[in-house]
Amino acid sequence: MRQSIYAFDWLLFLAVLIISIFSLVVNYFLVPNLFLQQLFYLILGLGVFFIFSRLDFQIWEKLGWLGYLGSIIFLLTPLIFGTITRGAVRWIRIGSFTVQPSELVKPFLIAFFSSFFANEQKIKLKKALVGFLLMLVPTILIFIQPDLGSSLVVGISLLGILFAAGLPLKFFLGAGGAMLAFLPVAWNFFLKSYQKDRILSFLNPHSDPLGRGYNLIQSTVAVGAGKFFGRGLGKGTQSGLQFLPERHTDFMFASFAENFGFFGVLIFLGLFAFLLWRILKITSRTNNNFAFLFGCGAFCLIFAQGFINMGMNLGLLPVTGIPLPLLSYGGSSFLATMIMLGILENICYNMRSRLSSSSEWGNAV
């Protein structure tokens, strides 16, 4: 059966497109020299979205192990060929572009763990432990780059798959208790000094306002400066005059708030919430276990990444170097998000193809 234009989830695509255009417009005023590069990422991302939306999602279930092994190898490349930026080795250079493997592997890790648990009616403890050990490998490789934020987001999305697959709550409570007991060890032996500084600056940013607390203070000032309707595009003091570090990447939400104000932020949050709702809608309607777990993993990843990024921009969470999905400048995160959404679009198509001739279709929209 040929894919019909009516089987395409235009509501999902419309939310993605509007947020992406917001990103393009704000980046044009913040970093005009990077506008063409961001436009290229947008066009490439849309192309990737449509390609993955036409590929049968069950391919990724069959290629699960290949995707996992490829992701592990790809995560090792920064340790060998990576470029050092601000003390971290997260990127590899390909021609004139830099690629962040920890972002691009996310959809394929979600696909692998979805396939790993897809055939389980009830997860046994042994299977859960094997899956948990497999989760630790990419999470640790991302953490040692070091990239605490991305390792947390990946860990949350993979735990979300475990929860959706039916692992009992007591397992998560036990794992949470073990993590709390491990925190003193992590603080003394695993966290880098700058990561400790970020946590301490979050607790009291004004103890060192020109040092470790600077980013957090400037971010909250930028958000507040936007007031209700914003200062106007390119007229923000914190973002426009570059008082706000990483104003187009990690702190893009603060720049957006300063330019568009509270009203603009409400529109963005509405679009972001609508996008998450469409993901849940597609996920809840599928009768394929792999598709269901993939949708849950994608939802957890996008939600966690957005929640953590906006939380740190508002001064509610410690500063972590993760972008805001679809809004922050950069190609790797944008492409990874578009791959996930493209796979979800194909899941939606397959679901609609089965229901289009029945009365169930009206309830699946």
**pLDDT tens string 77-126:** 887 776 666 556 677 877 667 788 888 999 999 999 999 998 877 777 78
Where is average pLDDT lowest: 93-102, 110-119, 200-209, 319-328? 200-209
| Alpha helices, H only, 144-246 | 148-164, 169-189, 193-203, 214-225, 237-240
State yes or no: pLDDT of 357 exceeds 50. no
Separation between Cα atoms, residue 324 and residue 73, nearest integer Å: 26
Cβ 160 vs Cβ 299: under 8 Å = yes
The arithmetic mean of pLDDT across residues 34-59, rounded, is: 92
Quickly state the pLDDT bin for 359 (edges 50, 70, 90). very low
pLDDT given for residue 178 in this prediction = 66
121-155 tens-digit pLDDT: 777 778 888 888 898 899 888 888 777 778 888 88
User: Could you please report the per-residue DSSP string of 151-175?
Assistant: HHHHHHHHHHHHHHTT--HHHHHHH
CA-wise closest residue to 52 among 255, 339, 245: 339
CA-wise closest residue to 266 among 226, 221, 210: 226
Half-sphere exposure at residue 270, Cβ-oriented, CA atoms within 13 angstroms = 8
**Integer CA distances (angstroms), 141 to 78, 101, 126, 145, 269, in order:** 10, 11, 24, 7, 32
Residues forming beta bridges with residue 83, ordered by sequence position: 91
Please report, rounded to a whole number, the percentage of residues in the chain having pLDDT higher than 90. Answer: 31
Where is average pLDDT lowest: 30-39, 129-138, 172-181, 268-277? 172-181
The arithmetic mean of pLDDT across residues 20-26, rounded, is: 91
Cβ 247 vs Cβ 255: under 8 Å = yes
pLDDT given for residue 362 in this prediction = 45
pLDDT given for residue 19 in this prediction = 94
Two tokens at 222? 């930028």
Q: 94 — phi, psi (to 5°)?
A: -125, 100
Separation between Cα atoms, residue 336 and residue 45, nearest integer Å: 9
Cβ 127 vs Cβ 117: under 8 Å = yes
Quickly state the pLDDT bin for 268 (edges 50, 70, 90). very high
What is the pTM (predicted TM-score) of this model?
A: 0.86
pLDDT given for residue 247 in this prediction = 78
Cβ 275 vs Cβ 269: under 8 Å = no
pLDDT given for residue 346 in this prediction = 92
pLDDT given for residue 186 in this prediction = 62
Please report, rounded to a whole number, the percentage of residues in the chain having pLDDT higher than 70. Answer: 80
CA-wise closest residue to 131 among 118, 143, 141: 118
State yes or no: pLDDT of 20 exceeds 90. yes
Half-sphere exposure at residue 71, Cβ-oriented, CA atoms within 13 angstroms = 28
State yes or no: pLDDT of 7 exceeds 80. no
Residue with tokens 């609609």: 352
42 class by beta-carbon count within 10 Å (0-12 exposed, 13-18 middle, 19+ buried): buried
Separation between Cα atoms, residue 18 and residue 9, nearest integer Å: 15
